[in-house]
Amino acid sequence: MVVGGINRDSLQNLGGKGLHLDLLLQGGFEIPETFYPKDVPNLQNSRLYIVRSSADGEDGHTKTSAGKFITLKGIRRDNLETAIQEVSSHYSEGNVVIQPDLSSDMEFSGVVYSNLNGYCVISGGKNNFVQQIVRGEESEIEIMLSNGKSVIKGQPINPEIIRKINTKSREVETYFGIPMDIEFAILDGKVTFLQARPLPNPTESALREHEIRRLDRQTKHIKDKGLEEIVLGVGNYREILANKKATQLSTSTFNYIFSGNGKDILGAVQLGRNELGYDIGTEIFPWVTMLNGKVYYNFAGDALQFRPKGIEEEDLLRVINEAYLPIVRGDPDLLNYPELRLYIQFPDQAERVGLDPIPFRKLAERNRKAIEDLQIPNEPPVKRYAKKYISLEECLDEITAITDNIRLGSAREYVKAARLAFFALEDVRVYLEKLEEDKSIIFNKLNSSFETKSPEQLRDAIVYDESIGSFELSEREEFRYLGSFELSQPRGFPPKRHFKKGRNIPDKTLAELIYKTREVLEYREKVKFTLFRDYDYLKQLYEQTGKLSEFGEDIFYLEFDELHHLVDKSRLAMYRIELRKKIKGRKLLSDPIFESDLESNINRTYEKKPQLIFGSLPQEGIYVSIGENGYVVDSVDQTIEIPEKTSVVLVPDNVRPGSHLFTILSDYDLPVIGVPHDDLDTLKDSKVQISLKDGYIDIKREK
């Protein structure tokens, strides 16, 4: 029988302890030579051995069975058979592990918890003290380490030994993906692992520390480049990855496709934008990440995508440190969608922060030329059907091939389309700001006509006043592939669009800008069909992977680069899955995440209020019953259709102009209100009064 891509009999043949030792060896860690009963005839007569239990249920992810079974030391080869029988008589399934008895060679030994309530805890003593600790005796030395500081109870010990144990135990935790309970010994100055097993019930402090360590590993390279602080935002990345329904596998697949591997593989963002005249290397990696069971984007990496050729990396990093970071510290809501509100895209903006404006002028000219030369597709792509694979290895090989095809093909084209669309939207906003200065009468007339108050609001109202073009498809199977970038979610038909014609625009230059902006938005919408067709094909392969590995939907808890573990290290995959199940839904970190908050151990909550992001409300407000005339969109659905009786739409507050959902909602000419996601959950099936106060939405639940 095969479970998770590995033969069940082989798991039983190794037993729990044997399997963990084997995984440690595969991970490159030092372990003693390890033998099994079949190896006894080949063992040396001159050595002493230790015979250890390796029951099938020992050291699992839900139960460790620590100390339940016996260990026999100092056994000569001639007595091994008897010792094996004695040890194995205490359990029905599993194996017996035989190792050289290294008791006399141990300089120091003990037990280390890689992460106990957020601390690395080492208990040990000189020589073979590990056995006494396992028997429950008090340790000679106990050490607690956190944030580079240590507390020691007992006699002084060489600090280098402490550093080695701490470092190696963290590496083991990283490898298994879960806080670990480890037996170790120092042999010839090296840390040798005698046993490792997961902690079945890590605390919230341990889980939080685990996530912080993972963040540190992912972002160290950009800190080394001179970034002052790591900041992880929300943006529409959480929107397009289905908010609370986002999974590890879809997020990491998205990250690989769009930002590569951070080393020698460039993602679609780098490839697509470089074609438009940007100069992007691997510094944007990771573009998105999942921590605490939620999707975040790397703020600095996101900002570095706007570096045109001719601007050095360190110069833009200076702007991020000295201009962008102070602004978002003062207003974290700007992290929601910075591309449309914060980053430099035009020469006059560059001059204000001390950057050379010429590269930005050339970039703007290239972007406008690319918009003029758009070739909008006429025909939608046809659905692809994946071959039915018998072998898990073959299916994973096809996944590797298709993700690279997407990265180099449809994703790269979509990146160019999206970049041009966002540039066009900003071009309109900049023009409206100048119109407000130079032709205030026309600007005020437009503002009054569209019931807006600022150039940004006016831009959105005018651009989306006319419906954005898209493919109109019949409900046939070959087109059933639309959906978000979250691959665990259903795919479906595109919505029936409610097209409306925009009002007349009195300024000729503005009218031309709006026309081209609507064209590039249509181009982006149509290019996306090919990308989602490819994503649909990838989803078919992931569904097969779940079935072939017998992990089912649990594969979505794995990272993209961990899928190969389903073949060669399925127990390792299982540990990582179990940890992420424990993390899902826990509020372990701030939202968004500022590194300075993590360092001060603060879980800050940034208060957000509902905002009107589209349309208008009557002055007297509106009464709605959620689920009847009040419609809630709780996660991205590319196939959304608003019921006719709807009078107001509530969406997650990370929905912003430029996103597909925003584009679809603009067809309906209804007020759209962005609500913090947790608040959105509580409003379902309620009757509420919604009114506008001081620019913010006030939502009162009826008693």
Domain boundary (202, 219, 238) is at 202
In a domain, 594, yes or no: no
Predicted pLDDT of residue 98? 95
Whether 258 and 272 map to the same domain: the answer is: yes
Whether 84 and 25 map to the same domain: the answer is: yes
Whether 672 and 697 map to the same domain: the answer is: yes
Handedness of CA 35, 36, 42, 48 (dihedral sign): positive
In a domain, 508, yes or no: yes
Whether 352 and 294 map to the same domain: the answer is: yes
Whether 306 and 405 map to the same domain: the answer is: yes
Token pair, residue 536, equals 């649909």
Res. 173 pLDDT band, cuts 50 70 90: very high
Predicted pLDDT of residue 336? 80
Whether 79 and 161 map to the same domain: the answer is: no
In a domain, 307, yes or no: yes
Region 115-125: mean pLDDT is 90
pTM of this structure: 0.89
Helices (H), 388-439: 392-408, 410-438
Torsion of CA 538, 541, 547, 553, to 10 degrees: -10
Region 309-333: mean pLDDT is 94
Whether 512 and 399 map to the same domain: the answer is: yes
Region 491-511: mean pLDDT is 85
H or E element at residue 96: strand 94-100
Whether 270 and 384 map to the same domain: the answer is: yes
In a domain, 632, yes or no: yes
In a domain, 584, yes or no: no
Return d(Cα 630, Cα 626) in angstroms, integer.
4
Q: What angle do CA 71, 74, 80 make, to 5 degrees?
A: 75
Q: Does residue 354 sit in helix, strand or coil? A: coil
Whether 534 and 433 map to the same domain: the answer is: yes
Return d(Cα 679, Cα 135) in angstroms, integer.
51
Domain boundary (51, 81, 101) is at 101
- Specify the number of domains making up the chain: 4
Q: Which pLDDT tens digit goes with each residue over 370-393?
A: 999 999 999 999 999 999 999 999
Q: Which pLDDT tens digit goes with each residue over 412-435?
A: 999 999 999 999 999 999 999 999
Assign residue 176 the CATH number of its domain.
3.30.470.20
* Phi, psi of 691, deg, nearest 5: -140, 165
Predicted pLDDT of residue 257? 98
As a whole number, the mean pLDDT across the chain is 88
pLDDT score of 12 more than 50: no
Whether 306 and 162 map to the same domain: the answer is: no
Q: Which pLDDT tens digit goes with each residue over 442-498?
A: 999 998 888 888 898 899 999 999 999 988 877 777 777 777 899 998 887 777 777
In a domain, 142, yes or no: yes
3-state helix, strand, coil in the chain (%, to 5): 45, 20, 35
Predicted pLDDT of residue 308? 96
Predicted pLDDT of residue 395? 98
Whether 176 and 231 map to the same domain: the answer is: no
pLDDT score of 282 more than 90: no
Domain boundary (54, 72, 101) is at 101
Question: Domain containing 159: what range?
Answer: 103-202
Return d(Cα 491, Cα 292) in angstroms, integer.
26
In a domain, 568, yes or no: no
Token pair, residue 334, equals 């700007």
What is Dmax (Cα atoms) for the chain?
102
